[in-house]
Structure 1
């Protein structure tokens, strides 16, 4: 209006300007990082297992912990020795191994002797350096392998017989097994009591009596098998044969051992008691065989 020029100052920047706002610096941390002993993990936590490794290393380095571990190990070793010592008091492992020292030839011959004992001549147990020969070297030596396997076979055969007659159940099978085992234990205890009362000095041990009492399972198996194949008549025929064979085997096997060498030339009443004891043990076998097998054949 008065002719004075007016200058307009434009503060707006052009669209293509290369000027950018400078980023603000990060604020300083409030606390210093003291986790240098741990491996870096998200969130600042120690690596998995670091505490466990630290505790284990600390425990192993602790003398009191090492002393406690050594003391516990000594107690465990002492307890193991005591268990073995008590076990050897009642069950001699070396004697038990003797009754299982068998082979295939011995088992086959002994089974034939149990079924056909009438043709056998020599019933004496053989010795070598005052020690009885193992069963695999002497057919007359008693063993526990055949009684054990025959007992298991009898239980399985009883289950099969009951299953064929639609009478199988786990309770009945368990009753058959437990009854057969209890009868053998009672028979062994009765023989031990009879030997004690008769003051018999012999080399018969509990294992010997258990072996001779367990041979009845062979006759029981044959009787049940014959009964399943040929009925009740076949069962009674097999029962009569196996019972008589077992009685003959028991009398001939126990006669020398039960009477003992010291009884030769001794008092006649004692010899009679020892003879009656042997005959009673043999005569009791057919009753047990019949009692444990008659309900399996119909």
Structure 2
């Protein structure tokens, strides 16, 4: 045996390395999704197909044109109009039994200049003359028709009393809010109290007129109008007292001074204006002379008018200004 190198045995021969031989694999088919179906064009009316022509709607109401042109619908519409007309006439006839609508319209026939001058007259009645109301000829030639308020400053109206009533309610709520005492119920309380006060006042006036045999066709409407002018003085008293009295209301000498003036102005205004309502004269007799009422009865009416203008108005205006 031969020895090589340092006497180590010869290396053993290693077996040959065998690498795996690649095998030919058939190509895997690629999976594809089926093509989407072709879009189907649907023929729709309206905005579906802008290129599609379709007939325009009939009539000005589109689909409702056929309904409006239907003879049955037209007949129903005419029946409804007739029923509405008859219902309105029936309502007017029944309302006119208790309320004369044309007479009430007379009291709302005002103008801007009349409202301004009337407010000035209520607050400053000291040098106003004359106080008699102007008369004209009626539509049928009758004498004794009074001119509307827009043509006669001495004529009573219901616009200022109504606006004064509403303004008083809103002013009371505003004053309560400034004092931190506002509640939503204050509108109902104030309106109810003021309405009841005016209703009681009218009942007392009607009772006095009945006992004193005072009759006048427009007496009730005149009394309603005159009873509402007190709200003007009450509103002025509340506003000026809040401004000049430092938000303390009508207390103190400033508040009482303003209240005294507005009360006296309202009392004089009523005394002069109601003279022609509570102290009327009898119509002329056959000889054409004017005969006034009996002396004793006229004195009683004068006392009644003075008591209403000063005593009753003092209590009512004092109550109104307690806000």
TM range (shorter): 0.7 to 0.9
Give CA deviations for 1:72-100 in whole Å, capped at 9, x if unaligned: 87665444322110111222221111111
Change (3 A) 1:265 1:80: closer
C-alpha separation between the residues in 2 aligned to 1:222 and 1:165? 19
Give the match for residue 255 of structure 1: 275
Following TM superposition, by how much is the alpha carbon of 1:221 offset from its aligned partner in structure 2, in angstroms? Answer: 0.3
For 2:98, the equivalent position in structure 1 comes to 90
What does 1:196-207 correspond to in 2, within 5 Å?
196-207=210-221
User: Does residue 163 in structure 1 map to residue 183 in structure 2?
Assistant: no
C-alpha distance in structure 1 between counterparts of 2:207 and 2:96, whole Å = 23
- Measured in 2, the distance between the counterparts of 1:248 and 1:69 equals 58
Distance 1:138 1:76, change over 3 A: closer
Q: Is the contact between residue 99 and residue 142 of structure 1 (CA under 8 Å) also seen in structure 2?
A: yes
- In the TM superposition, residue 287 of structure 1 has moved relative to its aligned partner by 0.9
Q: Which residue of 2 aligns with 1:186?
A: 200
Deviations 1:122-156 (A, max 9, x none): 00000111321111111100011111111111111
Secondary structure of the residue aligned to 2:292 is coil
| Aligned pairs for 1:51-66 within 5 A | none
Alignment deviations for residues 102-132 of structure 1 (CA, whole Å, 9 cap, x no partner): 1111111111111110101200000111321
Alignment length (residue pairs): 239
Q: 1:149 to 1:70 in 2, by over 3 A?
A: closer
**1:110-259 alignment, distance < 5 Å:** 110-129=118-137, 130=143, 131-231=145-245, 232=251, 233-259=253-279
> Which structure dedicates a bigger proportion of its chain to helix?
1
Q: Does the CA-based 8 Å contact 1:202-1:261 persist in structure 2? A: no
C-alpha spacing 1:168/1:81, structure 2 compared with 1 (3 Å): same
Whole-angstrom distance in 1 between the partners of 2:88 and 2:320: 40
By how many angstroms is 1:71 displaced? 7.7
TM-score by length of 1: 0.72
Using the alignment, how far apart are the partners of 1:282 and 1:220 within structure 2? 15
Q: Which residue of 2 aligns with 1:42?
A: none
Name which structure has the greater RCO, CA cutoff 8 Å, separation 6+: 1
Which residue of 270, 278, 282 maps to 2:297?
A: 270
Are the aligned partners of 2:281 and 2:292 in contact in 1 as well (CA < 8 Å)? no
Distance 1:246 1:66 in 2: 60
Question: Structure 1 residue 227: deviation in Å?
Answer: 1.5
Q: How much does 1:228 deviate?
A: 0.6
Answer whether contact 1:201 1:262 (CA < 8 A) is retained. no
The 1-side partners of 2:71 and 2:114 are apart by 61
**Gapped runs of 5+ residues in structure 1?**
1-52
Give CA-to-partner distance per residue, 1:234-292, whole Å, 9 cap, x none: 22111100111111111111112211111953322321222122112212112111112
Quickly say closer, same or farther: Cα 1:238–1:204, change in 2 above 3 A.
Answer: farther
Given that 2:281 and 2:293 are in contact with CA atoms closer than 8 Å, whether structure 1 keeps it comes out as no
In structure 2, the gaps of 5 or more residues are 1-62, 138-142, 246-250, 284-290
2:308 paired residue among 265, 271, 281: 281
Q: Is the 8 A contact 1:226 1:234 kept in 2?
A: no
Helix, strand or coil for the counterpart of 2:276?
helix
TM-score by length of 2: 0.67
Partner Cα distance (2:267, 2:101) in 1: 30
